[in-house]
């Protein structure tokens, strides 16, 4: 294209006209700058001004121009000054080379490289780009995080010379990648501190890797890309899972319980040694329809057990079955009762994986249960016999007491009459002995009658509002002569304003008399028996304590039982049937109360307490 010194078009050749889409008549006289693409329109450049002034002979620039259709085109523009023979500028000659396609290729290449760099930098996996000689050209941020290193630390590292990789057996894989293959590298545990100078320890990792070469147009390896994936957590989980599986297998094999595992199709896959011993068969894959015959399964009633009813089959189909009972018949005909629990198994994603059955031999338990039932029946029979014997004894005591009272009343009455009427001093003492022993015997008979009435439920209370202090003083007066005769001091203390209680005054006096006379009987001369009454808001507390012979720890828990005596030998110093404290307990309970006894042991006295409710009616 020829331009005048003002930059207007003078002429243009055919290739330019064809490329621009203009006719020569349309171009002639137009400023060359009018063809500049939108956004780049401008007047004559500084280069053009310098050219027409003769300051330079030519210049070369890249410009984007617009064709007649409006399509922008990139061109390499060379403009030269044409002079006349005198050297004066005449016109300019512009040569345009269309570089649009080259520019597009360069832009695409730049975009590809930018994307590649962004992919490498932002990739979550570790990427290491290696030169053909094995040195490192580039690493991404994930690589730095994975190995705890910087690119500077591996500047002198050559992968093809790494002895650790050779020892791990993967150097040959790496060499194949440098030779032009895409290679998957097996998982290994690699510690860069062992081979890379300056690397801190503690960054060893389990990694899997892939390597692929980048080749030029001639097929030569230009770079090798190494992508690592950190699988340390997965390997640790696999190891833990493997250890757990091995532990579970050991537990199953060594378990004393039979363990049977079936897969999702119901085929028995695990049949541990305990199961072999229990069933009398060896482990073997067995389908459900074979179970009944192979394992000789029976219901508890002795009929054949269909496999569909078994706990394991039901668990394979999703049921949890607990305490299922059946029998196994051994080859010798022996029946062994079993109990088992079966549960479904699932894969981690929730799909059915089969079932497990835990079985225990019930033979010993069933035998022990039968023996226990037999012994219980014997015990119940013996208990019934004892109750019958006790009932006969109680009836005998009641009858005997009534039969003894009639002649005893006659003896006591005549002894009193003779003592009153007798004027013979020598006869008076024997009559007093007869009367005293008859009275003692009458009290024993009364005790027997009371116990008999209590046992048979014939004791009825005549309930009224009772002043317990008055009852206590009456009981004290009754027992005082015996205490004085033995040289035992009696003390009494009652809290002021004691409330009345609902009860039978005569029976409550009997309770107090029994406790006091018991204390006097077992206390030596010079000793003391004390009685106190205390209001404990909801209860009145009766306390009788003595300084007597005390109670043995072996006897103490049973002192309120019938016929319990501290000394049961024929030569014992204190007479009695051992009924007084039993009567105390029963009468207190009839009044809704409770009793207790304490003693530090022989020689340390004893303390008896009775709690009687202040409010409410006593039982009958």
In angstroms, rounded to a whole number, what is the distance separating the alpha carbons of residues 119 and 125? 10
Question: Over the stretch 385-398, which tens digit does the pLDDT of each residue have?
Answer: 887 876 766 666 66
Asked which of 443, 476, 511 is the last residue of a domain, the reply is 443
Tell me, what's the pLDDT at 322?
A: 94
Does some domain include residue 106? no
Query: Which of 561, 552, 605, 609 is CA-nearest to residue 583?
Result: 561
Mean pLDDT (whole number) for 508-523: 93
Same domain for 419 and 495: no
In angstroms, rounded to a whole number, what is the distance separating the alpha carbons of residues 319 and 203? 48
Asked which of 361, 387, 413 is the last residue of a domain, the reply is 361
- What is the pTM (predicted TM-score) of this model? 0.41
Same domain for 417 and 307: no
Does some domain include residue 242? no
Tell me, what's the pLDDT at 107?
A: 80
pLDDT bracket for residue 618 (50, 70, 90)? very low
Same domain for 560 and 416: no
Instruction: Flag whether pLDDT at 111 surpasses 80.
Output: no
Same domain for 180 and 201: yes
In angstroms, rounded to a whole number, what is the distance separating the alpha carbons of residues 118 and 554? 94
Does some domain include residue 449? no
Q: What is the mean pLDDT of the chain?
A: 85
Does some domain include residue 188? yes
Same domain for 587 and 467: yes
- CATH number assigned to the domain comprising residue 38: 3.30.450.20
Same domain for 405 and 322: no
Three state DSSP letters for 35-47: HECCCCCCCCCHH
Beta bridge mates, 455: none
Same domain for 473 and 568: yes
Mean pLDDT (whole number) for 359-371: 84
10 Å CB burial of residue 220 (0-12, 13-18, 19+) is exposed
pLDDT bracket for residue 563 (50, 70, 90)? low
Question: Over the stretch 241-297, which tens digit does the pLDDT of each residue have?
Answer: 898 888 888 888 888 889 999 999 999 999 999 999 999 999 999 999 999 999 999
Helix axes 468-486, 505-521, angle to 10 degrees: 30
Tokens of 361: 């031999």
Q: How many CB atoms lie within 10 A of CB 395?
A: 13
Instruction: Flag whether pLDDT at 572 surpasses 60.
Output: no
Question: Over the stretch 540-550, which tens digit does the pLDDT of each residue have?
Answer: 999 999 999 99
Does some domain include residue 207? yes
Residue partners of 216: CB distance under 8 A and separation at least 6 = 222
Tokens of 419: 């003592």
**Number of domains the chain is built from:** 5
pLDDT bracket for residue 573 (50, 70, 90)? very low
Mean pLDDT (whole number) for 579-602: 91
Same domain for 565 and 517: yes
Asked which of 235, 253, 274 is the last residue of a domain, the reply is 235
Does some domain include residue 243? no
Tell me, what's the pLDDT at 41?
A: 41
Mean pLDDT (whole number) for 49-59: 89
Same domain for 378 and 411: yes
- Range of the structural domain that residue 299 is part of: 266-361
Percent residues over pLDDT 90 in the chain: 47
Instruction: Flag whether pLDDT at 569 surpasses 60.
Output: no
């Amino acid at each position: 294209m020829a331009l005048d010194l003002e930059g207007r078009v003078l002429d243009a050749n055919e290739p330019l006209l064809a490329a621009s889409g203009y006719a020569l008549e349309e171009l002639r006289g137009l400023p060359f700058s009018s063809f500049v693409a939108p956004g780049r329109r401008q007047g004559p450049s500084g280069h053009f001004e310098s050219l027409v002034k003769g300051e330079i002979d030519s210049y070369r620039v890249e410009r984007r121009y617009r064709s007649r259709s409006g399509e922008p085109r990139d061109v390499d523009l060379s403009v030269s000054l044409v002079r006349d023979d005198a050297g004066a500028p005449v016109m300019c000659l512009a040569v345009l080379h269309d570089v649009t396609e080259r520019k597009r290729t360069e832009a695409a290449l730049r975009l590809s490289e930018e994307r590649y760099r962004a992919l490498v930098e932002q990739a979550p996996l570790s990427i290491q780009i290696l030169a053909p000689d094995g040195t490192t050209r580039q690493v991404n941020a994930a690589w730095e995080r994975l190995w705890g290193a910087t690119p500077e630390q591996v500047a002198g590292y050559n992968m093809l010379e790494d002895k650790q990789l050779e020892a791990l057996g993967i150097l040959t894989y790496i060499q194949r990648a440098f030779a032009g293959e895409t290679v998957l590298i097996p998982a290994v545990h690699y510690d860069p501190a062992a081979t890379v100078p300056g690397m801190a320890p503690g960054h060893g990792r389990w990694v899997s890797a892939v390597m692929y070469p980048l080749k030029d147009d001639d097929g030569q390896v230009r770079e090798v890309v190494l992508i690592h994936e950190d699988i340390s957590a997965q390997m640790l989980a696999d190891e833990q899972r493997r250890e757990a599986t091995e532990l579970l297998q050991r537990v199953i094999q060594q378990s004393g319980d039979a363990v049977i595992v079936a897969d999702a199709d119901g085929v028995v896959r695990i049949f541990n040694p305990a199961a072999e011993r229990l069933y009398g068969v060896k482990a073997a894959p067995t389908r459900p329809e074979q179970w009944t015959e192979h394992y000789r399964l029976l219901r508890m009633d002795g009929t054949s057990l269909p496999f569909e009813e078994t706990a394991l089959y039901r668990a394979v189909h999703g049921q949890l079955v607990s305490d299922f009972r059946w029998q196994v018949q051994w080859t010798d005909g022996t029946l062994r009762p079993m109990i088992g629990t079966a549960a479904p198994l699932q894969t981690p994603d929730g799909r059915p994986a089969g079932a497990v059955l835990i079985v225990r031999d019930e033979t010993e338990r069933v035998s022990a249960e039968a023996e226990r039932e037999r012994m219980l029946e014997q015990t119940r029979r013996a208990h019934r016999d004892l109750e019958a014997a006790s009932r006969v004894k109680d009836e005998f005591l009641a009858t005997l007491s009534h039969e003894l009272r009639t002649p005893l009343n006659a003896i006591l009455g005549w002894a009193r009459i003779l003592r009153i009427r007798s004027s013979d001093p020598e006869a008076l003492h024997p009559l007093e002995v007869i009367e005293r022993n008859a009275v003692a015997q009458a009290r024993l008979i009364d005790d027997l009658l009371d116990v008999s009435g209590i046992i048979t439920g014939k004791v009825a209370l005549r309930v009224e509002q009772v002043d317990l202090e008055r009852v206590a003083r009456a009981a004290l007066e009754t027992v005082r002569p015996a205490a004085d005769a033995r040289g035992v001091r009696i003390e009494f203390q009652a809290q002021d304003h004691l409330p009345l209680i609902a009860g039978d005054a005569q029976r409550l006096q009997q309770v107090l008399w029994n406790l006091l006379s018991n204390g006097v009987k077992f206390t030596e001369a010079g000793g003391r028996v004390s009685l106190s009454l205390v209001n404990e808001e909801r209860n009145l507390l009766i306390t009788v304590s003595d300084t007597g012979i005390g109670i043995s720890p072996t006897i103490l828990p049973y002192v309120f039982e019938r016929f319990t005596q501290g000394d049961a030998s024929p030569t014992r110093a204190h007479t009695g049937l051992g009924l007084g404290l039993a009567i105390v307990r029963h009468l207190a309970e009839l009044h809704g109360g409770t009793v207790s006894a304490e003693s530090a042991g022989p020689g340390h006295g004893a303390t008896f307490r009775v709690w009687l409710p202040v409010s409410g009616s006593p039982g009958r």
